[in-house]
Amino acid sequence: MSFLAWIGLFGLVHTAVKLAALAYRILCPTKIDISKYGPWALITGCTDGIGRAYTFELAKRGRIRF
């Protein structure tokens, strides 16, 4: 198989995967209503990095109860 044939095959497979993903999103929509869960959040990884900064920011705003 020549190089151009491989490029064409890759483009065809790529387009087929994109179309399949689009069809899946249209036929099986995932809609989550987060308001039904209430005014709370679970912060994971709050000992380091972004989770820790997020926890401190919420605590500054008075939105965390332990």
Domain co-membership, 36 together with 65: yes
**Is there a contact between 56 and 62 (Cβ–Cβ < 8 Å)?**
no
Does residue 53 have a pLDDT over 70?
Answer: yes
Does residue 62 have a pLDDT over 70?
Answer: yes
Domain co-membership, 18 together with 45: no
Domain co-membership, 13 together with 42: no
Q: Give the confidence band of 12 by pLDDT, cuts at 50, 70, 90.
A: very high
Domain co-membership, 24 together with 39: no
Distance CA 26, CA 3 (A): 35
Domain co-membership, 27 together with 41: no
**At 64, which helix (H) or strand (E)?**
none
Residue 55: give the domain boundaries.
Answer: 32-66
Domain co-membership, 37 together with 22: no
51: three-class secondary structure by DSSP: helix
Domain co-membership, 47 together with 62: yes
- The 8 Å CB, 24+ separation contacts for 32-41 are none
What would the two tokens of residue 33 be?
Answer: 């209503």
pLDDT at 8: 95
pLDDT at 34: 65
